[in-house]
Amino acid sequence: MSKDIDPPLTQLSIKTSEGGFYNGFATSVAVPGKIIISSLCVWAIFWPIQSGAVLNGMNSFILQNFAAWYVWVVAFFVAVCLGLAIWPTGGRMNLGLEGEKPEFGNFSWFSMMFGAGIGVGMLTWSVAEPVYHFQNNPDVIKGLATASGADNVMNAYKWSYLHWGLAAWACYAVAGLCLAFFTYRRGLPLTIRSALTPLFGRHLSGVLGHIIDIVAVIATILGVAQTLGFGVAQFAAGLTRIGIGGLTDAEGAVTTFGIITALLVIMGASTLSALSGVGKGIKWLSNINMGLSIILLTFFILFGATFFGFQAMTVGLFDYLVATPAMLVTVWGNDGVEGSVAAQLAGWQGSWTVFYWAWWIAFAPFVGLFLARISRGRTIREFVLGAMIVPALMCFVWFAWAGGTAIDLELNGTANGSIFGAPDGDKIFAMTTLMLQPISEILSWGMSLLIVVLLMTFLVTSADSAVLIVNTINAAGDEGPKARPHILFWGVALGVVVAGLLVSGGTSAIQTAMVIGALPFSAVMVLMCISLLKAIWNDGRRQRAGVATTHDKIEGASAPVLGAGIPAE
């Protein structure tokens, strides 16, 4: 057989402990990950001023020097995904064995994708973000639209859709696609390092592979911490709305007591759910939050700004699609002149677009691994189009009718600034209270309670899924049951990271830590894309030469041996 068409790598040994406390875990990944996260917790809690200053300094450095990297790298992910969908050789390849069928039907598949990627964010940002961009966005800064004016409504949606549309889901799709391809087609471990085998081969069994998985663990914890940080503030605001006092101050900001209370409830419930496993707690909670989501969204569509939301959905979507190519690659540089248009544009991009791209990248190991697990048996084309387009459309529906109702209430004077003035996490509560309180205090209280319950189920499922996925990476891709102490550790660690960063610097501290943590993983994701493209190209050549491309067709693939020779990709 010619060297350039050797079979692909189908054995990647990752050394795990065979007894003791870390039985079944790769200690070279699990221990360093725990040490880094524990150090961050101690630093943020006991030296809050110093940690805040250092994190802010690092954040400023990244925004000055790596903003363009974040913008262009996400544009690259979008291009890779769309290219794979239209590439005949790649598009028709199965994310599994040849002829294997999907485990889940389309409806269940789409529902799980939506819940995994953006459930918590919808409750905060589907109202808060369009409202914010209605008041200020790049078009306003450049003098092309009026802040809070009717001529700025579609601009607000154009920028909101940018952050929650194709670009966001391309980040998830890249991670999920690589994991599914190399795990279910190649038979490699379900862990991040497996996606780089065409580039580094057997070297991934050693230090290089350990570093890649550690980076993925850190990014996952910080990405989920970002989600929980916003969710905790909103959860405390919701508890205040239903009559529990002491959780927020006079301005509506969450107090330290509110942070601790909310985290104890959320992390306690999520840890119990994680201990029960995917088949019980997580599945049960996912069914609840899907049902409640449908009820809440139906309420906004029927009783909110129905026609206004329809315009935001259709006209806003058209404007977004037309402007997307330019928005994806435009980088605004800071000219150093305080208050100048260039400085304002660079500041806006750093606070919004760069922040979101870092968030989605940090969240990608978590969502990507989940997408891989539910997408086995689908073609690459099915996966890319399904994972990018359908969930993005669901985001647009939420933004159009939830955010559209808020903007309409402010435009027609009904809200009189009450939605504008509410904290981000409280905006959805302020809006529903404004809609229902004149009709019935009980209905208003009941809707706030529904949102609080929905928020808690989303937060709990995000946290417990993250704990299980971090443990899967730490256990060299083993998806089986994990020891309780390790589940408890990551549950507590996640809560302490959120609490420590919130107390030391609010949600901005979590945002800063997440932007920093996502930077190295963004480089890993670029390598994952190159690796996948190389693997698909070579598989096309193998198929034409009659060489096997899946692990079930390659002799010895099902029996990996530590230290055995591995054929080159």
Residue 423 sits in a domain of what CATH number?
1.20.1740.10
Residue found under tokens 């010619």: 2
**For the stretch 310-332, what's the b/e string if a residue is b when 16 or more beta carbons lie within 10 angstroms of its beta carbon?**
ebbbeebbebbeebbeebbeeeb
Residue 209 contacts residue 16 (beta carbons within 8 Å): no
User: Which residue, among 19, 25, 20, has the nearest Cα to 478 in the 3D structure?
Assistant: 25
Cα dihedral sign, 60-66-68-73: negative
d(CA 37, CA 112): 29
Residue 305 main-chain phi, psi, to 5 deg: -85, 80
Residue 4 domain-assigned?
no
Query: How far is it, in rounded angstroms, from Cα 133 to Cα 148?
Result: 9
d(CA 514, CA 498): 11
- Give the DSSP letter of residue 400: I
Location of structure tokens 């899967």: 472
Residue 55 or 479, more confident = 55
- Position 198, amino acid: P
User: How many domains is the chain built from?
Assistant: 1
Give residue 396's pLDDT: 93
Give yes or no for residue 558 having a pLDDT over 60: no
Confidence of residue 285 (pLDDT cuts 50, 70, 90): low
* pLDDT tens, residue by residue, 304-324: 999 999 999 999 999 999 999
Q: Which residues contact 323 (CB under 8 A, 6 or more apart)?
A: 158, 162
319-350 pLDDT, tens per residue? 999 999 999 999 998 888 888 999 999 999 99
Q: Is 249 helix (H, G, I), strand (E, B) or coil?
A: coil
Does 426 map to a domain? Answer: yes
The length of the chain, given as a count of residues? 569
- 422 SS3 class: coil
Residue 17: inside a domain: no
Q: What is the three-class DSSP state of 248?
A: strand
2 within domain boundaries: no
Decide if 236 contacts 222 (C-beta within 8 A): no
The tens digit of pLDDT for each residue in 456-515 reads 877 777 777 788 788 889 988 887 656 678 878 887 888 888 777 777 666 677 777 788
Q: Which domain holds residue 125?
A: 31-553
Q: Is residue 564 part of a domain?
A: no
DSSP per-residue codes, 136-181: --HHHHTTSS-TTSGGGHHHHHHHHHHHHSHHHHHHHHHHHHHHHI
Mean pLDDT of 78-86: 94
DSSP type of residue 350: I
HSE value, Cβ hemisphere, 13 Å, CA-based, for 475 = 20
Average pLDDT along the chain: 84
Instruction: Report how far residue 329's alpha carbon sits from residue 215's, in angstroms, rounded to the nearest whole number.
Output: 26
Q: Quote the pLDDT of residue 391.
A: 85
pLDDT score recorded for residue 566: 36
Quick one: what percent of the chain has pLDDT higher than 70?
A: 90
Q: What is the pLDDT of residue 119?
A: 65
Chain segment 184-218, per-residue pLDDT in tens: 999 999 999 999 999 999 899 999 999 999 999 99
CA distance 193 to 521: 12
Cα 205 to Cα 458: distance, rounded to the nearest angstrom? 36
Instruction: Decide if 16 is inside a domain.
Output: no
- Asked if the structure places residue 559 within a domain, the reply is no
Six token digits for residue 397: 């529906």
Q: What is the pLDDT of residue 406?
A: 94
CA distance 177 to 533: 11
pLDDT at 324: 95
Q: Is residue 10 part of a domain?
A: no
Please tell me whether the overall predicted TM-score, pTM, comes out greater than 0.85 for this model: yes
446 membership: H or E segment, kind and range: helix 441-474
What span, in angstroms and rounded, lies between the C-alpha atoms of 222 and 549? 36
Separation of alpha carbons 131 and 394, rounded Å: 19
How high is the pLDDT of residue 472? 87
Per-residue pLDDT, 2: 46
Q: Which of 233-242, 330-339, 446-455, 496-505 has the lowest mean pLDDT?
A: 496-505
